[in-house]
Structure 1
Amino acid sequence: MTRLVIVDDDPMVRTGLRLILGGETDLDLVGEAGDGRQAMDVIRDLNPDVVLMDIRMPVQDGLTTTELLLAQPDPPRVLVLTTFDADDMVLRALQLGAGGFLLKDTPPPKMIEAVRAVARGEPVLSPTVAHQVIAAATAKHEPQARRELATLTEREREVAIEVAKGSTNAEIAEHLFMSVATVKANITRIFAKLETDNRVILAMKVRDAGLL
């Protein structure tokens, strides 16, 4: 059972998320908070596995809260929620170690799967915002990116492209007709070759290499 806490200053958003996630037998919504400072107390008391974190909140924003949470021993995984298609604070949250980000209007089945993926330790990039965030945050390094991606096998490049599109490991397995274990093995090799362990950085490299 995955224990969840929702952090958002909008009661309607919290209600919507509660309705979406509350009916899943493997997800246990244990608490909510309306701002980052309140969230710190709620998370400390309830010890969730995953926190759905809004970015723009009063009192203490989601970015500060994410940084404080992830600096603690054995922190929960953080899934950032945003209403913006491109938000530099979202990229900063990912750099701090957040497990991924989603638009708040992500279809419920996708949102549920994203929560499960983050709980499993699989970072999640919302396809509808990933390219815009990458484009806004990345300088052009096409020649270097092409050289780096050239070190990958054809199959590894296919997996890398799927990661850059925002696909989860399960979706990559379905799209490329391989097992999830094989997908994970490919991603491990890709990370080693590209000297990163971050799906966002991998997506940037794929984009700059002209593979999207």
Structure 2
Amino acid sequence: MIRVVLADDHAVVRRGLTGLLESTDDLEVVGVARDGSEAVDLVLEHRPDVAVMDLQMPVLDGVEATRAIVAAATGTEVLVLTSFSDHARIDAALGAGAVGYLLKDAEPEVLLDGIRAVARGESPLDPRAARRLLTRAAGSRETSAGAAPAGLSPREAEVLRLVVEGLLNKQIAQRLGITERTVKAHLTSAYQRIGVADRTQAALWAQRHDLGGRTP
């Protein structure tokens, strides 16, 4: 069972998210917060696996709440769920320690799969948020299909491009016709080569090194 704290300042959203999660067999809502300060308190009290965090909230916004949760080292991972896809908010949230970034107009299954992905140690990024990260690089250009920056193999570079698109391991495996285990192996190797620890850092690294665009 994946234990979740929800944080959003709109009652309708809180009720909708609670109902959605409680309709599953593997997700349990252990706390619901109306603002960032309440979210921090609930995380410290319940130590959930995942905190689903809105960004724009009273008392303490989602970025500062995320920073406080990460600093508390409770083992809780933060998944941002917001209406905003501008690069400033994305940068702020990821910089504060959020491991995933989804938008509120996503399909319900995308959110549920995103929470599960975070609990597995993955970092789901909405494709639009990922594209915002990429477009910040002035004059960025797609790396040619055979290029492999930082010593990456062509397949590792290909997998990283799909991470930037926001695909999860299962989707990458389906796109490339390989197994999820092989995807994980390529990611582990790529992380070591470029010196990052997780999916979010890898996506940011790819943006800085112009490793973007769709694979063939």
Cα deviation 1:139-182 (Å, max 9, x = unaligned): 55769x88762732221122111111100112112221222221
Q: Which residue of 2 aligns with 1:121?
A: 121
Q: Does the CA contact (< 8 Å) of 1:8 and 1:57 recur in 2?
A: yes
TM-aligned CA distance change 1:210 to 1:74, over 3 Å: closer
Task: Name the CA distance, whole Å, in 1 between partners of 2:34 and 2:155.
Answer: 45
Q: Which residue of 2 aligns with 1:21?
A: 21
Q: Which residue of 2 aligns with 1:59?
A: 59
Which residue identity is paired with 1:37? S
Q: Which residue of 2 aligns with 1:103?
A: 103
Q: Does the CA contact (< 8 Å) of 1:164 and 1:202 recur in 2?
A: no
| Gap regions ≥5 residues in structure 2 | none
Task: Name the CA distance, whole Å, in 2 between partners of 1:150 and 1:4.
Answer: 37
Worse-superposed segment, 177-186 or 58-67? 177-186
How far is 1:64 from its partner?
A: 0.5
Q: CA RMSD in A?
A: 2.2
Q: Which residue of 1 aligns with 2:173?
A: 173
Task: Name the CA distance, whole Å, in 2 between partners of 1:20 and 1:199.
Answer: 30
Task: Name the CA distance, whole Å, in 2 between partners of 1:202 and 1:185.
Answer: 18
TM-aligned CA distance change 1:190 to 1:171, over 3 Å: same
Q: Does the CA contact (< 8 Å) of 1:49 and 1:77 recur in 2?
A: yes
Q: Once the two structures are aligned, what percentage of the paired residues are identical?
A: 37
Q: Specify the SS of the correspondent of 1:196.
A: coil
Which residue identity is paired with 2:100? G
How does the TM-score come out when normalised to structure 2? 0.87
Task: Name the CA distance, whole Å, in 2 between partners of 1:24 and 1:115.
Answer: 12
2:207 aligned with 1:204:
yes
Q: Does the CA contact (< 8 Å) of 2:47 and 2:74 recur in 1?
A: no
Which residue identity is paired with 2:162? E
Cα deviation 1:35-75 (Å, max 9, x = unaligned): 01111221122221100000111110010010011011233
Report 1:7-46 matches (<5 A). 7-46=7-46
| Gap regions ≥5 residues in structure 1 | none
